[in-house]
Every structure is written in structure tokens, then in C-alpha cells.
Chains A and B, each alone.
Chain A
Amino acid sequence: MATHCEEIRIGFYVCHCGHNIAAMVDCEAVARYARKLPGVVVSRDYRYMCSDPGQELIRQDVREHRLNRIVVAACSPLLHEHTFRTATERAGLNPFHCQMVNIREHNSWVATRKQDATRKAKSLAQAAIHRVRFHKALQVQRVSIRPEVLVVGGGIAGIHAALTLANAGKKVFLVEREATIGGHMAKFDKTFPTLDCSACILTPKMSAVRSHPNITLWTLAEVTQVEGFIGNYRVKVRRSPRYVLEDACVGCLECIDACVYRSPKFPDAFNEGLGKRKPIYIPFPQATPKVVLIDPATCLNLKTGKCKQTCLEACGERQAIQFNQQERLEEIEVGTIIVATGFKTFDPRRQPLYGYGTYPNVYTSLEIERLVNASGPTGGEVVARDGRKPRAIGIIHCVGSRDRKTNVWCSRVCCMYSLKLAHLLKEHSEAEVYNFYIDIRAPGKGYEEFYNKLLDDGVHFIRGRVGEVTDWAMTPEEEGRLVIRVEDTLAGCVRRIPVDMVVLATGLEPQPDAQAVRRLFNMSCGGDGWFLERHPKLAPVNTFADGVYLAGCCQGPKDIPDTVAQAGAAAAEVLSLIDKGYVEQEPNTAYVRDEDCSGCKSCIPLCPYNAITFAEDRQKATINETLCKGCGTCVASCPSGSIVQRLFEDDEVFAEIEGMLAYDA
């Protein structure tokens, strides 16, 4: 083990990363410069330090030159710190005697002049070389992983992840905000490109969730608090009253018939407001759990207390209806969390040009999903809001997508679901169907073939983003109808096309409370508001919070196959953690030097991880190092300087700064 008294022998390596670094940084010059710095015994530049021969170079030098400190100037430590620490360890040194310098993301990729980038690389290298001298030998800690898993969101992503885990014998808590699981997929009529009945493939999974002994399903429930850390999370869940006991209700639905409202009166959210429901209702026939619920905003008894309560009578001895049911708070302990909170569709009122909300016969795509569905409000018959059967239907793509004024991203699914709806509308009506698109994006398996099928069906494809949907007529044919004005960019002319129904292919957006959820689970959001994965290619279901994983559209728009694949991947990540049983924690934790602590307690409320407690007997602050995430807040705030953070100790940080300042261009 190296100590302060022994001679410091540093090996310095600068990586070309092919052209990534070498194109902007003169790597040879950096190596030459480092060679002259105190303590440096070996200084090399190499094409790919992360390659096997690169790592072997370190081992060989340690052996031949008796090195005891390693500095590698290469890419971000996020990518290869582990690689070089392992190489250092395999060479017989403590892995924390290795320090990485980021001269790619922080330097070559953002610099514009080679001269500047090379200077910056030299000064960063010098800083690390100064610092590494003070590195201490540290040991990683192990944290055990609880085997219970929390899955947040009961759409197809949450359902698939929960079932995968439960089938592997893990205990799963599935928390869903709505009264039923199923999410958006439950509303779809068919799925592209195979035209499977959406309900037929989803409902078996929904009932499997309900009956699975390893799954605890809470609907009308929301996570309100998350405490703890990977392997050991304490989670609070608020369960809103359903006013019906889930265990007592058998789903006979007699209470609904008995309700004092003779006919359904209130907009039915499951049918996108196209149908009506009563205050006591079941969202749809296959709702899971198949238990009715009472909407407190419309129920006469809950609103005014004045009602004949005919539902109670109908329920009879089962006594499932409980008007006095209260909100409940559950507290659970889990080791890992999968966030699958889904998306919201774009509100086309934000784009008044397309007349949604002004013209009754302008629909959103979700409304059409319900309209063509056999169990939908019209029994699958395509009838417009004004009662007419459309002769022509226009489907407008990219509503709230690829638009700097609303959402810049491509929502990925709209092209394909528009093709599917075009097919279904043609199947369910006599209408001519026009698609107005910017680009058709059909890159999945079987998707292009589906597009070909639609062309064969005689669906019109007009390449042009619609300029206007209006109701003023120029020709007798247009009278009393909606008119779409668009440039047919392929035919090369502006066209006015009269239709009787307009379908807006609304894009996907992050949930309105995505920011609050992000904070709750300590995750990050990208600039567009979707939850951010740890790495777009190599850690697509991980988040920056250890033990928290993503599945489905909350991470970005995706279709059902991709969502299910991602949910499976998140479940696999969780399983690998649980089966290993522990994780190794970076030893960059903080500790209190008792002799200097004055017991002022100022650090305690500042810790975001609640890792600091006060030892009453000694009158000192104590840090629980399994809870500490090494953020450094307490270190900076301690008035007596009694808190020390490993890998960021004062001598290390000061040496680093001195090294940086010592560089003289």
C-alpha cells in the first residue's frame, strides 16, 4: 500500500480516442509536457487507452517502472473511470490511486482551436498529476438490495415489467393513478401493423396482474414520497378513496343500473368524452380491478349528502359501497423502482388553425380510436358529431410534433397510427380517406409493408402540412363541409379538399406533472421534458438515480413493441441487481472528524439524503455512509471544517487547483 512517505511514481497516459481527441489536442505535446512534471516517471500517448493493449500498457509500466499512481487523460469518467480503475487494480495497485482527466467532452469536442485545446489539456493534466499524489487507498462498500420492487404506472410498460418480475418470483407493488390499469393501450381499437385487437392482447395481461400472487395492485394511488437509496427505498403511497370496497365488490354492476341518475350524464373519460357515464361507473368492461367506483365530483350523495342512495340498496348484503371511505397512506420498503408513468397526448386547441374545439367534426386520434371501437360510444359506427356519415375524411399528421412552436420532436407513433386509423375508417365507412403528412416514418418491422397495403387500399397520401381547416366554402361541393387547404408538395399545387371529418394525429408529450415526478424519484429530465436515461445507447433504461429504471413513453415517444421491450429490459436490470444481492458503492462518502465537530447541527437539514444524524451522547454529527451520495453539501457548509469527503479531501482539491494554476502557457 502506498503511503505519504513513500516515493510517488506517476504514470501518465493521454488517449487519442482515434480522432476524437487527437484532431483537436496535440496529444504528443501533452505527453511531452507531463513527462517533465514532478513525480511523473512514465508519460505516454496512445491511440485507444481503453483497448486491451492500452490497459496492458498500464500494467506493464506499473511492473517495470514501479508506478504507484496512474493518471489517464481521455474521455468522461462516466464512460471509462471504471475501466481504468480496474486496470490499475489488476496491476496490483489500489483502484483509487487512479485519476481520470476528461479531455474529450470537456475539451476536444467543444473547443474550436487546437492551440487552446492543447493548452487546456496540459493544464488539466497537470492538475490531476498534482492531485493524484494525495490519493488514499480506499475500499468500496457493499450495499444489499431488497428484493421487493415498486412499479409506478399501470400502462402496458408497467404491466409488462410487473409481470416479468412477478413471474421471476419477486414481490411487486404496482401503483396506478387511474381507477384501472391498461393505460392508453386499453383505449386503442387495433394495433399496428398487425391489426391485432388491442384489448384482446392486453386484457389477458391485465387479469394476470390482478390474479398474480406476487403483485400488489393499487389503483387510484400515487407515490407521494421516496426516501432512501438503491436497495433500500422507503416509499409512501397515497390511495384515494374509491368509495367501493375492492374485496367486497363482485363487479355485478347492479349499483350502476340502480343509480338515481336514470341515464348516463357525465362525460366518459375512457371514451374521450364521446360517451357518457353515471357518477357510479366502471371505466370499461374489462377494467382491472373490475370494481366500480364513485366519482365524488358528480355523485349526489357525496356532493350534497342528499340522495336516496339506491346504489346501496342494489349492492345489498355485500355492502361494498362505503361512502365514508377515506384516503389512505401506505408505506412500503422496496429495493428498486421502475418508473413507467407514460405520456399525455398534445392538446390540439393549442393549434387553433386546425379548428379543434371550433368545428365539432374535428377529432383527435384518440377520439377516433374510441369511435371505431366496437365497444365505443357508437358501437364502432363512424358517425360524426353532427350525426352525418362522412363521405371524406382527412387525417392531419404531425399535430403538435416537429413544430418549434409546440413540440420539436417527432412523436414516432403518429405516422403508423394514422395509417392504422385510415385503414379502420375505410373499413368502417364508405369514406375517401386523405392523409396529409410531412414525411411518412415507417421504420419498424412490417411497417413499410403496412404502408404499401394502405396505398393498395386506395387511401390518398398528400405530402404537405395542412395550412388551414375552415368552414367557408368556395365551391358548391364545399358548402356545409370542412375544407382543408394544403400545398400538395409532390403534385406542386395548392389544393382545397372538402371533407366531413378531420382527424388530428396528435403527438405525444411528457405528463404535465413530469417535473414533480422527476424530483420525487431524483431523476433528470431532458430539455424536452422526457425523463432522461443514463446513456442514450448503453444505459437506455437506467436513470441517474441508482436503482431507479425507466420503461415506456415517460422516457420518450415509442410504440407498443418498443415499450414492451424496454419494460422487459428494465425488469432484467432489476432482476440482475436483486439476484446479485448487493451493489458496490463509490467510496466518495463524507465523514465527520469528531475532534473538530462543534455539534452545531447546521449540516443535518442540508443533507438531501437524510444521511446525517446527531449522536446525542457524544454531541456530534454522524454520517451514515450507506446513505451518503457524496454530494459534498455538508462539507461546504460545515463552519468548523470538520467534515471530510473521501476523494475530495482538502489536500487533494487544493493540489488540483494549484496544479491547474501552475500551468503557464
Chain B
Amino acid sequence: MKYGYFPGCSLRGTGRAYEASLLPVFRHLGIQLDELEDWNCCGATAYMSIDETSACVLASRNLALAEKAGHAQLLAPCSACYLVLNKAKHYFHEYPAMTVQVKRALQRGGLAYSGNTPVRHPLDVLIHDVGLEAIRQKVVHPLKGLRVACYYGCQIVRPYATFDDACEPTTMDQLMEALGATVVRWPLKTKCCGGSLTGTIPEAGLRLVYILCKEALKRGANVIATVCPLCQFNLDAYHHDIRRRWEDVRIPTVYFTQLMGVAFGLRPVDLGLQRGFVPFQMPASPPDEPAVAGKPVVAPPTR
């Protein structure tokens, strides 16, 4: 199996641990990832606020580069990249006027784009191309006793949910169960982490993070598994702030690929696990009772 690989800016910054775990895990499964040559920023949500045509051009440059390099499919691990590349593709097909403008712009840079390269998410590839059975076979340290809250966030299931349900996604749940972990029922699994609002309007953004972590703890999770560098950052980096504003709801948030690496027996430092703020450790022995379940509420949250 071979895919073009679009890392995206975050995987080179705050989300380094995602790439650090994704690459060895995929290598371990015998999947070849070829990084897209001279890829550029997808534009994320911010560029859409400037001009949608330019935003589509920006994203389409990557798709055109992928076609040029002969990548049959493009893997985009970051949720924002996954969404924006897919969105550009949708717009390209949906709006003829936009198609013309995008084609012309790409031409100015000597590129052409037909609109065909599928953009895939690692979760999609793992479940539907690799298959749970192949993954199960690689597991050497089953994640026994680990109670995972699977956090899909927004942008891989919305609005272009192609590989999982928009409201009740299950692919990560299946994956975690295949690794031997227990998945806790957590109704917030597709709720928003606040995106960049944690930085720009913390009162609003951080409260979403607070609710997510609080509910995960309440349901007995001892780790949150995520698919997105921004989600990971938000759920991991602001606990000091959250404690100051509301209460302490610290819970490790790691990339699903990091948990795969652990189950496959790869070394934690090779998976970037040391980069998290809230340290993650495998539970020593399968606990009978959830370790942190039912923590008393310190102060009633503001509504």
C-alpha cells in the first residue's frame, strides 16, 4: 500500500507527536507514505474567511501537485487539512465558475488539476484499506485496562463524512477495541474543541475543552484519543488555565496513532509521547474500578 502524504503545518509544529507516531506506525504496517513535494498550507479555517476562491486555489495547489507526482491517493492526517482539501475538491466539482478560476490560477503556476485525487484520513485507511484483522495481528502489548474516550472532533466527520457517520462515528472505537482497549461511551465524541478560539476567545474556547475533559473523566476514561493536532493541543495544553477558571480536569490526550504504536510495542519516545503536557502512562494493572471516575464537582460550572 502506498499513499501520497500531506503532513500539514501543525504536524511540523505543535502537532509533531502526531507525525512522530504516524510514520513509524504506518511503516510497521507496511504502508509507504511519500511526502508531497513542496506542499503548502491548506489554508485551514482562517483562509476561508479571506476569500473562498483563493482558499480553494491554495488547497488545490496541493491536489494538483499530488496528481503531478502520480499519487493515486493523498493522506491528510490533520482534520483541518482533510476537510479543506476535500472542500476544495467539492467546490471544484460543484461550482463551474469556481472551477474555471481555480484552473486558471493553477495554470499561472504551471499546474493542472482534474479534481480526482481522493483525499483520505489515516483512520479511513486503517479501517477500510488495512483492516482491523491486520492491525490486530500486529498488537504485541494489548492496551488492557486502558479506558479510552475516542475523540473524533469536528472536521473529519463534518461536513464531508465519507468514511464514518457524522453523528455516531465508530471507526476509532473499533480500532481501539482491536488494540485491546476499552472504549467508554462518551456522548461528546464529535463535539467541538473550540478550534482556535482557545487562544483568541479563551472564555468560550476553553470552556468547551473543560466540558470535554470533565465528562471524559466522569465516564471513567483514563485517556482521550484524538485524530487532530488542534484538538490534541487544546485538550492538552490549557489545563493550567482551566484549573484557574473552573476546576482541575487533567486527563492525558494522545493521538490514536500513539496508542497504536504502544500496542505495536514501539518505544514511547519514538512515538513522541514525551511531548504531551499531561503525561500518559499505561495503567499498571487492569483496574476493577475506573481510576478517576466520579470525581466530586468542586464548584458548579458557570452556564
| A–B touching in complex (CB under 8 Å) | yes
- Contact surface of A with B, Cβ cutoff 8 Å: 352-353, 470-472, 474-476, 496
The answer, among A472, A474, A496, for a CB contact under 8 Å with B187, is A472
Report the minimum CB–CB distance from B193 to chain A (whole Å): 16
The answer, among B165, B167, B301, for a CB contact under 8 Å with A474, is B301
Contact check, B187 vs A476: say whether CB atoms are below 8 A apart. no
Instruction: Give Cα A474–Cα B303 distance, bound, in whole angstroms.
Output: 8
The answer, among A352, A474, A476, for a CB contact under 8 Å with B168, is A352
Residues of chain A within 8 A of B187, CB atoms compared:
470-472
Instruction: Give Cα A327–Cα B156 distance, bound, in whole angstroms.
Output: 52
> Is residue B266 contacting chain A, with contact meaning CB distance below 8 A?
no
Contact check, A472 vs B188: say whether CB atoms are below 8 A apart. yes
> Is residue B215 contacting chain A, with contact meaning CB distance below 8 A?
yes
Contact check, A472 vs B168: say whether CB atoms are below 8 A apart. no
Instruction: Give Cα A475–Cα B211 distance, bound, in whole angstroms.
Output: 12
Report the minimum CB–CB distance from A359 to chain B (whole Å): 9
Report the minimum CB–CB distance from B149 to chain A (whole Å): 12
Instruction: Give Cα A471–Cα B215 distance, bound, in whole angstroms.
Output: 10
The answer, among B167, B218, B303, for a CB contact under 8 Å with A353, is B167
Instruction: Give Cα A81–Cα B215 distance, bound, in whole angstroms.
Output: 70
Instruction: Give Cα A257–Cα B211 distance, bound, in whole angstroms.
Output: 54
Report the minimum CB–CB distance from A390 to chain B (whole Å): 20
> Is residue B300 contacting chain A, with contact meaning CB distance below 8 A?
yes
CB-based closest 10 A-B pairs:
A352-B167, A352-B168, A470-B187, A472-B215, A472-B187, A353-B167, A474-B303, A474-B301, A471-B187, A472-B188
Report the minimum CB–CB distance from A232 to chain B (whole Å): 52
Contact check, B303 vs A475: say whether CB atoms are below 8 A apart. yes
Residues of chain A within 8 A of B188, CB atoms compared:
472
Task: Apart from A474-B303, A475-B300, A476-B300, list 12 A-B contacts with CB within 8 A.
Answer: A352-B165, A352-B167, A352-B168, A353-B167, A470-B187, A472-B187, A472-B188, A472-B215, A472-B218, A474-B211, A474-B301, A496-B303
- What secondary structure prevails in chain B residues at the interface with A? loop
Nearest CB to that of B218 among chain A residues? A472
Contact with A along B148-168 (1 / 0, CB 8 A): 000000000000000001011
Residues of chain A within 8 A of B167, CB atoms compared:
352-353
Instruction: Give Cα A286–Cα B211 distance, bound, in whole angstroms.
Output: 53
Residues of chain B within 8 A of A472, CB atoms compared:
187-188, 215, 218
A-B contact pairs, 17 of them (CB 8 A): A352-B165, A352-B167, A352-B168, A353-B167, A470-B187, A471-B187, A472-B187, A472-B188, A472-B215, A472-B218, A474-B211, A474-B301, A474-B303, A475-B300, A475-B303, A476-B300, A496-B303
Residues of chain A within 8 A of B165, CB atoms compared:
352
B residues 148-200 touching A (CB-CB < 8 Å): 165, 167-168, 187-188
Report the minimum CB–CB distance from B217 to chain A (whole Å): 12
Instruction: Give Cα A533–Cα B187 distance, bound, in whole angstroms.
Output: 45
B residues 49-107 touching A (CB-CB < 8 Å): none
Residues of chain B within 8 A of A474, CB atoms compared:
211, 301, 303
Nearest CB to that of A359 among chain B residues? B187
Report the minimum CB–CB distance from A453 to chain B (whole Å): 34
Residues of chain B within 8 A of A496, CB atoms compared:
303
Instruction: Give Cα A353–Cα B187 distance, bound, in whole angstroms.
Output: 10
Residues of chain B within 8 A of A470, CB atoms compared:
187
Instruction: Give Cα A470–Cα B191 distance, bound, in whole angstroms.
Output: 12
Residues of chain A within 8 A of B211, CB atoms compared:
474
Report the minimum CB–CB distance from A481 to chain B (whole Å): 13
Instruction: Give Cα A352–Cα B190 distance, bound, in whole angstroms.
Output: 13
B residues 213-245 touching A (CB-CB < 8 Å): 215, 218
Residues of chain A within 8 A of B301, CB atoms compared:
474
Residues of chain A within 8 A of B303, CB atoms compared:
474-475, 496
Nearest CB to that of B168 among chain A residues? A352
Residues of chain B within 8 A of A352, CB atoms compared:
165, 167-168
Report the minimum CB–CB distance from A351 to chain B (whole Å): 8
Report the minimum CB–CB distance from B18 to chain A (whole Å): 27
Nearest CB to that of A468 among chain B residues? B187
Instruction: Give Cα A471–Cα B167 distance, bound, in whole angstroms.
Output: 15
Nearest CB to that of B188 among chain A residues? A472
Nearest CB to that of A405 among chain B residues? B166
Instruction: Give Cα A472–Cα B211 distance, bound, in whole angstroms.
Output: 10
Q: Which of A471, A474, A496 has the most CB of B within 10 A?
A: A474
Instruction: Give Cα A470–Cα B165 distance, bound, in whole angstroms.
Output: 17
Instruction: Give Cα A470–Cα B188 distance, bound, in whole angstroms.
Output: 9
Instruction: Give Cα A474–Cα B187 distance, bound, in whole angstroms.
Output: 13
Residues of chain A within 8 A of B300, CB atoms compared:
475-476
Residues of chain B within 8 A of A353, CB atoms compared:
167
Report the minimum CB–CB distance from B233 to chain A (whole Å): 23
Instruction: Give Cα A353–Cα B300 distance, bound, in whole angstroms.
Output: 26
Q: Which of B168, B187, B188, B218 has the most CB of A within 10 A?
A: B187
Nearest CB to that of A353 among chain B residues? B167
Residues of chain B within 8 A of A476, CB atoms compared:
300
Instruction: Give Cα A68–Cα B187 distance, bound, in whole angstroms.
Output: 78
Instruction: Give Cα A71–Cα B152 distance, bound, in whole angstroms.
Output: 68
Instruction: Give Cα A311–Cα B179 distance, bound, in whole angstroms.
Output: 52
Report the minimum CB–CB distance from B168 to chain A (whole Å): 5
Nearest CB to that of B219 among chain A residues? A472
Nearest CB to that of A357 among chain B residues? B168
